[in-house]
Amino acid sequence: MQDKREQSTIISHNIKRLREEAQWTQAKLAEESGITGAALSKIEKGDGRMPTIVVLRKIAAALKVPVQEISGESLDEFSENKEKTRAFHRKWGMLEELDQEDQDALLGMAERLRKMTKENE
What is the rounded distance in angstroms from the CA atom of residue 46 to the CA atom of residue 13? Answer: 8
What is the rounded distance in angstroms from the CA atom of residue 29 to the CA atom of residue 27? Answer: 6
Q: What is the pLDDT of residues 62-82, one digit of tens each?
A: 999 999 889 887 655 555 666
| Mean pLDDT, rounded, for 85-90 | 66
| pTM assigned to the model | 0.61
Q: What is the pLDDT of residues 29-72, one digit of tens each?
A: 999 999 999 999 999 998 777 889 899 999 999 999 999 889 88
Q: Whose CA is closest to 4, among 67, 53, 46, 57?
A: 46
